[in-house]
A = this chain, B = another copy of it.
Amino acid sequence: MTQSSDPLIIAGREFYSRLLVGTGKYADLEQTRAAVEASGAEIVTVAVRRTNIGQQADEANLLDYLDPARYTILPNTAGCFTAEDAVRTCRLARELGGWDLVKLEVLGDEKTLYPDLWETAKAAETLIAEGFQVMVYTMDDPIACKRFEEMGCAAVMPLAAPIGSGLGIQNRYNLRIILEQANVPILVDAGVGTASDVAVALELGCDGVLLNTAIAEAGDPVRMATAMRQGVEAGRNAYLAGRMSKRLYGSASSPLDGTFF
């Protein structure tokens, strides 16, 4: 079976890759392009406040390397610490490229880069009211995730661990509860460090993973992008196949309990 029979649907659009990638921290735009291509991603997120996608007419433009006809450009609000800043940033993105599918992140502080859920919720409400399709970065807090879904967010994106930490999924129980309750796509966003981390996320039933640092800071970013693509596919196929039950002994006739990880 191919990916084509198992689409990821976000805001009514079909995607066949479940890996979303960022564009920061690369050596140069050519490396960005090569890594994005190797990742197989169809959705590429761009920090509007840091990356030139048309704001500076006379400088190198990311979109000359990543063709918007091929990739879905997902503007994000990285670097915003208030709802107001985040909303303004999304409006700017819409003016620049007509993008209304956005990734909202409103951070609580510069050190940990954890989201501020109150400011995030305020921004999400405003953006949804203005017609944006909001993919929202959040803590792995089941009640908050449900709130974002009920508010009308197009996708909810709980973190695995702090942005850029590479620590991998810290709380599988939270993700599991979030997934049980969800009616919109749940994507793990932030904290992934290597290919097995993304496989775990997909095996838990997450609809996709968004990452950036784990590729950009790898020794060989292009090869790591390939690894991440394979890790997502491995995890998705394992999830769809349905894993064996765990047992304490190989010869046990009755399995332990499959509900632990």
Contacts and interface: CB of A to CB of B under 8 A. Distances in A.
A226 interface: yes
Contacts of A233: 227, 230, 234
Nearest to A198: B234
Interface in A212-261: 213-214, 217-221, 223-224, 226-231, 233-238, 240-251, 256-257, 259-260
B257 A238 contact: no
Contacts of A199: 195-196, 199, 231, 234
B165 A250 contact: yes
A200 to B, nearest CB: 5
A183 interface: no
A126 interface: no
Contact of A173 (B142, B167, B237, B245): B167
Q: How many identical subunits does the complex contain?
A: 4
Contact of A143 (B108, B226, B228, B243): B108
Interface string A138-153: 0101111011000000
A42 to B, nearest CB: 18
B196 A247 contact: no
A23 B244 CA distance: 16
Nearest to A177: B112
A163 interface: yes
Interface of A: 1, 108-118, 121, 139, 141-144, 146-147, 161-167, 170-174, 176-177, 190, 193-196, 199-200, 203, 213-214, 217-221, 223-224, 226-231, 233-238, 240-251, 256-257, 259-260
